[in-house]
Amino acid sequence: MSEQVLDNAQQLAPGEARCPNEPSTQDIIAKDRVTAPDWVRSESYRFLGDEDIPKGRYIDPEYAKKEYEKLWTRTWQFACREEHIPEVGDYYVYDLGRRSFIVTRVAENEVKAYYNSCLHRGTKLRPSGTEGCASEFTCPFHGWTWNLDGSLQKATCHWDFPHVEAEKFNLPEARVELLAGFVFINMDHDALPLEEYFGPEFMSHINSWGLENRYIHCHVAKRIPANWKLNMEAFMEAYHVIETHPQVAVSNADANSQYDFYGDHVDRFISPLGVISPHLRGQYTEQDILDQFTVGDSSVLAGADRKLAEGETARQRMADMLRDMFEKGTKADLSGVSDSELLDCFSYTIFPNTFMFPGISLPMVYRFRPDPEDHRKSFYEVFFMRPVPKDGERPEPAECVWLEDHQSFTEAEGMDPGFGNILDQDTENLLAQQQGLEATAKDGLTLGNYQEIRVRHFEQTIDKYMAD
């Protein structure tokens, strides 16, 4: 750390320091030609303390056991998309730990989530990882059958079960709420409604994104050799970009990205693209930045004119190129869509285990789940969510492709190779981090006050659930 940085940090209250002598994310966005909406132009950061995060939560199997009792049973989780179950009778099996749910559309506007277990002797009614269409749910063991609405239709040889009252044998349900095309479920019948859980600020953000008009065009999953929280936290900051992804730093304002949080359950960063990393300031021209810029499906930009005019910025040219490209792709008028929405990386954590990226160039959702067999492993899923074409039918959602542990993300069909490489870089650090936390003589993890606020915010919310 340079002396200048130390001086700067020392003169300010904790959490107030920002990357010195650099434009802020808001400064960068304010210069764009097409103005960004309010949800982009707001800031919501506060210093939350600088204590170390105790390491036990990542390495102790007892901690993981408690999470199943106290956290996973009481939080709203993204179980599937509505597009997975468009017709009455369609169902999708969602698992969390050893819990399993059949999420099914029981009427045009009603979705239910049943515990995936027979009320006779417990057999799973539908295998994990499956989806399909059903008019009833029949147990494969003795044939007890439930109607789509969860009521008991048949107990085989019911003469032998005079003690079974049909009205007490409805399939037990988790709560369900629908938002922006996502089906959320919660095992806690006393939990806050989803809107209150997220709070008014985030609700105004998500309601302006139109994610209900997106479809899954690629869905990739992989088991990662690290605790689910380490897995998530690897994606919460742009602080690692210069070391882990040096190839993108030329066109990513990494150290001057913006971090925000909203209530207990939502936080985000905005990481501007098309501008140079403060770490590399002075080493590249605007033309270099443009030449090295890749984003999402970068191949489609290959033929574009990339020669900058005198005084033109790489960022503005990139925004114009992307706008043009997406207008052609979607046949929509994007003249009013801001440069920032077209270009920048907006990463939101939706507590406990989902990320949403509402931007247009990287339209993704991530989901993370613990591996019930091993607290040192977790499942990571990436959904690429393209806008539904204006003049056509909604395409079917892509089926999930599971990668083997040794496979690269670049091998997944539909994955842009440049982006797959970034995901490999992110996840390759995780085994070393898990093992290092088990090897260390130190009690906890030390965090930056600003750039790692999402990690602290996330862990403080976990603390709240674990303490109750």
| Binding positions for Fe ion, 220-239, rule CB under 5 A | none
**121 is a contact residue toward ligand FES (CB under 6 A):** yes
Q: Which is nearer to ligand FES, 173 or 264 (CB)?
A: 173
Q: Which is nearer to ligand FES, 56 or 127 (CB)?
A: 127
**142 is a contact residue toward ligand FES (CB under 6 A):** yes
Bridging pattern class, strands 400-403 and 214-224: parallel
Shortest Å, Cβ 103 to ligand FES: 20
- How many angstroms separate the CA atoms of 257 and 273, rounded? 10
| Residue for token pair 């006393």 | 190
Bridging pattern class, strands 131-133 and 90-96: antiparallel
Look at residue 178 and give its three-state secondary structure. strand
**426 is a contact residue toward Fe ion (CB under 5 A):** yes
Q: Which of these, 448, 459, 460, 457, lies nearest to 18 by C-alpha position?
A: 448
Q: Which is nearer to Fe ion, 266 or 362 (CB)?
A: 362
- How many angstroms separate the CA atoms of 370 and 67, rounded? 10
Which residues, at least 6 apart from 273, have a Cβ–Cβ distance to it below 8 Å? 251, 252, 253, 293, 295, 315, 318, 343, 344, 345, 361
Shortest Å, Cβ 157 to ligand FES: 10
For 340-418, where are the E strands, in sequence order? 345-350, 354-357, 364-371, 374-387, 400-403
Residue 120 interacts, among ligand FES, Fe ion, none and using kind-specific CB cut-offs from 5 to 8 Å, with ligand FES
Residue 123 interacts, among ligand FES, Fe ion, none and using kind-specific CB cut-offs from 5 to 8 Å, with ligand FES
Q: Which of these, 449, 437, 369, lies nearest to 54 by C-alpha position?
A: 437
Residue 261 interacts, among ligand FES, Fe ion, none and using kind-specific CB cut-offs from 5 to 8 Å, with none
Q: Which is nearer to ligand FES, 125 or 362 (CB)?
A: 125
**273 is a contact residue toward ligand FES (CB under 6 A):** no
Bridging pattern class, strands 266-271 and 99-107: unpaired
User: Using CB under 6 A, which of the segments 30-38, 101-109, 114-122, 324-332 binds ligand FES?
Assistant: 114-122
Q: Given phi > 0 = left and psi -120 to 50 = alpha, else beta, which region is 5?
A: alpha
Burial letters 410-449, b for 16+ CB under 10 A, else e:
eebeebbebbbbbbebbbebbeebbeebeeeeeeebebeb
Q: Which is nearer to Fe ion, 426 or 459 (CB)?
A: 426
Residue 331 interacts, among Fe ion, ligand FES, none and using kind-specific CB cut-offs from 5 to 8 Å, with none
DSSP 95: E
**120 is a contact residue toward ligand FES (CB under 6 A):** yes
Instruction: Count the site residues for ligand FES by CB under 6 A.
Output: 9
**339 is a contact residue toward Fe ion (CB under 5 A):** no
Which of 4, 21, 35, 123 is the binder for ligand FES (CB under 6 A)? 123
Which of 71, 79, 80, 118 is the binder for ligand FES (CB under 6 A)? 118
DSSP 399: P
Cα distances (Å, whole numbers) of residue 380 to 152, 420, 425, 435: 36, 13, 14, 19
| Phi and psi at residue 369, to the nearest 5° | -140, 145
| Residue for token pair 């999953």 | 221
Q: Which is nearer to ligand FES, 121 or 158 (CB)?
A: 121
User: Using CB under 6 A, which of the segments 142-150, 319-327, 411-419, 421-429 binds ligand FES?
Assistant: 142-150
- How many angstroms separate the CA atoms of 334 and 332, rounded? 6
Cα distances (Å, whole numbers) of residue 319 to 219, 232, 247, 252: 27, 29, 20, 14
* Per-residue binding letters, 216-235, with ligand FES (x by CB under 6 A): --------------------
Shortest Å, Cβ 139 to ligand FES: 3
| Binding positions for Fe ion, 48-107, rule CB under 5 A | none
Q: Which is nearer to ligand FES, 172 or 200 (CB)?
A: 172
Which of 53, 79, 139, 385 is the binder for ligand FES (CB under 6 A)? 139
- Amino acid at site 199: G
Q: Which is nearer to Fe ion, 297 or 426 (CB)?
A: 426
- Amino acid at site 374: D
DSSP 55: T
Structure tokens at 378: 């977790």
**144 is a contact residue toward ligand FES (CB under 6 A):** yes
Q: Which is nearer to ligand FES, 143 or 193 (CB)?
A: 143
**464 is a contact residue toward ligand FES (CB under 6 A):** no
Contact 455, 65 (CB under 8 A): no
Shortest Å, Cβ 63 to ligand FES: 33
Q: Which is nearer to ligand FES, 123 or 299 (CB)?
A: 123
User: Using CB under 6 A as the criterion, which residues of the chain lie in contact with ligand FES when the complex forms?
Assistant: 118, 120-121, 123, 139, 141-144
User: Using CB under 5 A as the criterion, which residues of the chain lie in contact with Fe ion when the complex forms?
Assistant: 426
